Amino acid sequence: MGDASREIMRQARRQVPEWTPSRVNEALAHQHEVGPEHQEIVLVDVREKHEWNEGHIPGAIHVPRGYLELQIEEAVPDKSKTVVLYCAGGVRSLIAGVTLQQMGYTTPISMSGGFGRWKANGYPLVQPRP
């Protein structure tokens, strides 16, 4: 990673809160308990289609990073929702969080460590079809 990339990441980390997979899992479990009428968290997978097809977090919606600006407002029309973004390792989701802020979303959050850490922690997955 070059100097410019490192600086972009430093700025993104100052702007976008990061939650650990553990915190995301707890928040999703709590949301499940209170029921669908109180859903304040939207989980968005910003990985590429082939990554999504290899497995993803239950309840996530898929909006690839390359299409984020074109598709997110349709996928998540309520900009006041907490939007938890994840990718493979936490870089694309952090940049996606900055983009959502620029688009008027009030609470984008990046999941640190991404899907890789989620999977390593043994949290629930939607497995790929054989």
Distance CA 72, CA 79 (A): 10
Distance CA 130, CA 115 (A): 20
- Three-point CA angle 111, 1, 93, nearest 5°: 20
* 103 contacts 73 by C-beta, under 8 angstroms: yes
Is residue 24 among the annotated active site residues? no
Distance CA 62, CA 96 (A): 13
Choice among 16, 42, 57, 87 that is catalytic: 87
Catalytic residues: 87
